Amino acid sequence: MLTHAQIWSAIDRLAERAGLSASGLARRAGLDPTTFNKSKRMTSEGRARWPSTESIAKALTATGTPVEAFVALMNGGNSDAAKTVPLLGFAQAGSGGYFDDAGFPAGEGWDQIAFPEVADTHAYALKISGQSMLPAYRDGDVILVSPSAAIRRGDRVVVKTRDGEVMAKELKRRTPSAIELRSLNVEHEDRTLMAEDVLWMARILWVSQ
């Protein structure tokens, strides 16, 4: 049986694993900062107040946490066992030796960063440098990338070409012969790449801001 205490405890663990307070988690999820505060968990009459499914869904999306991981937290999952993923500077991603031909992290030179659990065991993080991807991504932001996730039109993606260029764009359209990409910064032109010139493309799941 699912209990009020289990749900709120899981939210606290989720916030802790993301290095946030309860109010910090709410802000990251785009909610009122008091949404997950302890004062909101009981009414003034002493009745249990439950978080909405919408607020939980937004918190999971904001932290890149799958539902299964949240269920594990409800069942007493260890909040200290935060997953780490490989971390690389975005500017380094175009250099040789960091990825295999399928777009999975490989080789040496990667750092590690703690992240809430993600389903893709090959997921990795890239740290943005510079202003070329404003307003979507700012200097110092960290994006979580999944080379195994399904990609649909409208998803933000990281693309590496066969000549070593790496870019973060929005997938506008994909055909058997070409990939059309929309720039995240209006000052930069959209790109159309021949499919044969793309080494790999991976979906961006989450960004820390």
CATH of the domain at 148: 2.10.109.10
Q: Domain of 27: which CATH number?
A: 1.10.260
Tell me: do 97 and 165 sit in the same domain: yes
Q: For the chain, how many structural domains are there in total?
A: 2
Angle between helices 67-74 and 53-63 (to 10 degrees): 110
Tell me: do 123 and 30 sit in the same domain: no
Find the helix or strand (DSSP H, E) in which 85 lies: strand 83-89
Beta carbons of 193 and 162 less than 8 angstroms apart = no
The whole domain housing 145 covers: 83-208
Torsion (CA) 62, 67, 68, 73 in degrees, nearest 10: 70
Per-residue pLDDT of the chain (209 residues; tens, 9 = 90+): 679 999 999 999 888 877 889 999 999 999 999 999 999 899 888 899 999 999 999 998 888 787 777 887 887 755 444 567 899 999 999 888 899 888 999 888 899 887 666 677 889 999 999 999 989 999 988 999 999 888 999 999 999 999 999 999 999 999 999 999 999 999 999 999 999 999 999 999 888 76
Q: What's the predicted TM-score (pTM) here?
A: 0.64
Tell me: do 190 and 111 sit in the same domain: yes
Tell me: do 91 and 147 sit in the same domain: yes
Instruction: Write down which residue in 74, 92, 123 finishes a domain.
Output: 74
State how beta strands 124-127 and 83-89 pair.
parallel
- Helix, strand, coil percent content, the chain, rounded in steps of 5: 25, 30, 50
